[in-house]
Amino acid sequence: MAEQKTVTFIITRQDGPDSAPYEETFHIPYRPNMNVISALMEIQKNPVNANGEKTSAVQWDMNCLEEVCGACSMVINGTARQSCAALVDQLDQPVRLAPMDTFPVVRDLIIDRERMFDALKQIKGWVPIDGTHDLGPGPRMPEKKRQWAYELSKCMTCGVCLEACPNVNDKSTFIGPAAISQARLFNSHPTGEMNKSERLEGLMEEGGVLGCGNAQNCVEVCPKGIPLTTSIASMNRATLVQSFKNFFGSDNAH
C-alpha cells in the first residue's frame, strides 16, 4: 500500500476553564477536499498525537456546517474564522488551530460567547411586540430598505469580529462591533424604530459605541461581509443626536 499522505495540525489545547493552555501536534490522514472539521473528526476517531501517544480527543463546537450558525469559529493560522468553511487544501501547513481566546475558553477549542449575548441585552437587540392584545399589523417596510437591512441581519453572533478587535478583551467592557450593528438593524426596522432611544441609551452605557478604537479589523474579517464600521459610525452619529436631545431637551427624545 502506498504511503498515506498526512496533514499536520498544531492545536492549542486547554483541559478546563482554569487550566494552562498547551500545544499538541497531530498527523492526520489526508483526504481531498477535507475541511478543518473533518480533520478534527479524524482526531476524534483516533486520538493519537504526533509522538504516537494516546491522548484525549480535541473538543470543539459545531452545528450547521455551512457557515450560518457561527458555532465552529476558531483561530486558524492566526486568523479567526469558521472551521467548517476552512478547506485544508487552501491553508498553509502545518495548520495551527487555537480557541478565540478573547472569550473565556471552556475546553480546547470551545469558548463561551456569553458576553455577546449580554451585549445584545444591553442594546435591546430585539423588536418588542408582546402585549395583552393583538396590536394589528405594524408599519410596512419599503422593499429597498428590507434588502439593505437583510445584509445587517446576516450576523450570526459568531464572535470573529470581537476576536479580531484589539479593544475587546477581558480587561475591557467594550461590547464589540456585532451588537452595535444589531442596534442599527433594529433601529431601522419600522416597528423597532419605536424603541430607538432605548437602544441608543444602551450604546451610551459603559462599554458602548465609543469603546471602538477604529482599528476596523471587524469589517475585514466578518464572514458575512456586514458593513460593521459603517454601522459603528452610524451609531456614533445617532448617539450624538440622542445626547443632544437628552441634554437640550426635545419632544422627540422619547
Residues that bind other proteins (CB under 8 A): 75, 78-79, 102, 164, 166-167, 169, 171-172, 174, 204-208, 210-217, 220-221, 227, 229-230, 232-234, 236-240, 243
CA of 72: how far to CAs of 68, 98, 193, 229, in Å? 10, 12, 33, 24
CB of 110 to other proteins, least distance (A): 21
d(CA 101, CA 36): 18
d(CA 80, CA 109): 12
Closer CB to other proteins, 28 or 98, in the complex: 98
Residue 203 is inside which H or E element, if any? helix 196-204
Closer CB to other proteins, 156 or 164, in the complex: 164
CB of 214 to other proteins, least distance (A): 5
Find all residues with CB under 8 Å of 33, minimum gap 6, and list them.
87, 89
CA of 128: how far to CAs of 41, 125, 155, 181, in Å? 41, 9, 19, 18
Closer CB to other proteins, 72 or 161, in the complex: 161
CB of 237 to other proteins, least distance (A): 2
CB of 15 to other proteins, least distance (A): 23
Q: Which string of DSSP letters, residue by residue, matches 219-240?
A: HHH-TT---HHHHHHHHHHHHH
For the chain, state the CA radius of gyration.
22
CB of 174 to other proteins, least distance (A): 8
Closer CB to other proteins, 28 or 165, in the complex: 165
Closer CB to other proteins, 49 or 77, in the complex: 77
CB of 83 to other proteins, least distance (A): 16
Find all residues with CB under 8 Å of 34, minimum gap 6, and list them.
7, 87, 88, 89
Of 53, 2, 65, the C-alpha closest to 26 is: 53
Of 133, 104, 76, the C-alpha closest to 19 is: 104
CB of 148 to other proteins, least distance (A): 13
Closer CB to other proteins, 28 or 174, in the complex: 174
Closer CB to other proteins, 47 or 94, in the complex: 94
